[in-house]
Amino acid sequence: MALTSLIQRFRSFVGGIHPPYHKDLTDHQTIRQLPLPERVILPLSQHIGTPATACVKVGDTVLTGQMIGAADGPVSAPVHATISGTVTAIGMYPHPSGREVQSVVIESDGADEWVALPKRDGIGGVDNDTLRGWIADAGVVGLGGATFPTRVKMSPPETAQLDTLVINGAECEPYLTADHRLMVEEAGRIAEGGALIARILGVGRVIVGIEDNKADATVCMEKALTRLDPVRSGRLDVTVAVVPTKYPQGGEKQLIAVLTGREIPSGGLPMDVGVVVHNVGTAAAVSDAVLLGRPLVERVVTVTGEGLAAPGNARVRLGTPARALIEAFGGGEQVGKVVFGGPMMGVAQFHMEVPVIKGTSGILVLPPEAVTLEDIRPCIRCSACIEVCPIGLLPNMISVCAEQLAFAESEQYHPFDCIECGCCSYVCPSYRPLVQMIRYAKTEVRSLKQKAPH
């Protein structure tokens, strides 16, 4: 069957900002293959949910791809060795979240000897529960940063009426281009993974959302999707949706609203409007797990920023310490700030040995002169924060409530609908730490609710 173009243009959402994107530092660089790390630090918590339980001990020799941490409970994910070598320590190590968590340390034997992977000869006759099991066993979680175990997201309740899968290739965070390069260089893996997820969820419509600053990725995704059997035969209705470049276009709520016209209700989930969203990296990892039986041991990471001599993208073994990557991309002794993620939603790090984990899409390295600390001033009621909030919240009011410790009162302003995109803080002329105050309000309201008699 001949296909007309899958590409369609869509409008943007209300609110949002246009920060300097700095993507030109890395968006043209092909994904580098780095030498194997000498040592990896693998946190047993690289996902939302219960941490995995170590199933190796100090002194054990392990192979690449061997499970070293078993999933513990319904919302959990296993962790695999990402190099072959010897387990030299199991203990508390720095984690990109800022905490210390139980981690397994492996010293490399330099051989990268893999565990035997299962043989997969086609999946036509394989039932969906088995496919979900393979995805769970491979330790796949949301690679866009949310790190929710993918098997759970693929097991909707029977009452859910899903009809659409959105593959998120928007990558709206400034500086980051890992998803962009993956779409350009490995679109086939993403397309296969997307078709598999659609099959497991039983949906007939797939929309791949890409911002209009990635024209080459749009073309590559269209070509790869056009080659898929279910698309050629018309069993899968696929659109490559070009959306205007605006932050936070990649937010689930914003992308769903733009692509489907459906609004997720306050406190609701994409599933409530018939949609499931998966990141492009997650789709590629699903393809590897199902078609190759390959566990998640590496991911593409953007290592970028003005603090590096040669920023770029690399395929990185999970557990690689930040220091090794920063050195590989030309970072000198004088580093001002290291952020895991992008400048809008990333987390500043206090330790150079913090490892790349499943949710690490980028490492941003800024020089000392780019790091400034502004004085926080009172709110001047300019309403700039309200105008840019993509959810339509009153960030100034939630922040004032938190400042005055009036947490119960803050609830009337719906802090839990905040997606923590940081647009409000970005535009505030008084440099008020609005997102931090909203997070504070959320934590305190949660704790008040836990303490309240039932």
Residue 305: closest CA among 281, 338, 328? 338
List the one residue out of 223, 360, 194 whose CA is nearest residue 284. Answer: 194
Tell me, rounded to whole angstroms, the distance of Cα 266 from its chain centroid.
22
111 near ligand SF4, rule: CB under 6 A: no
CB nearer ligand SF4, residue 70 or residue 419: 419
Per DSSP, the residues of 265-308 read PTT--GGGGTEEEEEHHHHHHHHIIIII-----EEEEEEESTTB
CB of 250 to ligand SF4, least distance (A): 13
When binding is defined by CB under 6 A, the residue of 83, 187, 190, 423 that contacts ligand SF4 is 423
Which residue in the set 191, 432, 437, 442 belongs to the binding site for ligand SF4 (CB under 6 A)?
432
Q: How far is the CB of 12 from ligand SF4 (least distance, A)?
A: 15
- How far, in Å, CA of 4 to CA of 105, rounded? 51
145-146-147 Cα angle (round to 5): 90
8 or 404, CB closer to ligand SF4? 404
**Which residues, in sequence order, are CB contacts of 371 under 8 Å at separation 6+?**
336, 337
In the complex, least distance from residue 292 CB atom to ligand SF4, rounded to whole angstroms: 38
Q: Do you know the residue count of the chain?
A: 454
Min CB(131)–ligand SF4 separation in Å = 35
Based on CB atoms, which residue is closest to ligand SF4, 271 or 421? Answer: 421
322 binds ligand SF4 (CB under 6 A): no
Number of Cβ within a 10 Å radius of residue 237 = 16
Which of 104, 143, 303, 424 forms a contact with ligand SF4 (CB under 6 A)?
Answer: 424
Q: Does 257 bind ligand SF4 (CB under 6 A)?
A: no
Amino acid at 267: G
Please, which residue, 44 or 427, has the CB nearer to ligand SF4?
Answer: 427
Of 195, 316, 393, 402, the one binding ligand SF4 (CB under 6 A) is 393
Q: Does 436 bind ligand SF4 (CB under 6 A)?
A: no
Total residues binding ligand SF4 (CB under 6 A): 29
Residues 359-388 that bind ligand SF4 (CB under 6 A): 379-385, 388
Query: 237 or 387: whose CB is closer to ligand SF4?
Result: 387
**305 belongs to the binding site for ligand SF4 (CB under 6 A):** no
Q: How far apart are CA 285 and CA 143, in angstroms?
A: 9
Helix extents (H) in 66-202: 128-137, 150-153, 178-185, 187-201
Sign of the torsion formed by the C-alpha atoms of 197, 47, 337 and 399: positive
Q: What does the angle CA 183 – CA 360 – CA 143 come to, to the nearest 5 degrees?
A: 55
Q: Choose the stretch contacting ligand SF4; rule: CB under 6 A; options: 117-125, 321-329, 347-355, 392-400.
A: 392-400
Beta bridge partners of 278: 167
Q: For the CB of residue 383, give the shortest distance to ligand SF4 in the complex, in Å.
A: 5
Select the residue interacting with ligand SF4 from 41, 258, 418, 437 (CB under 6 A). Answer: 418
Q: Which residues bind ligand SF4 (CB under 6 A)?
A: 379-385, 388-391, 393, 395-396, 418-424, 427-430, 432, 434-435, 438
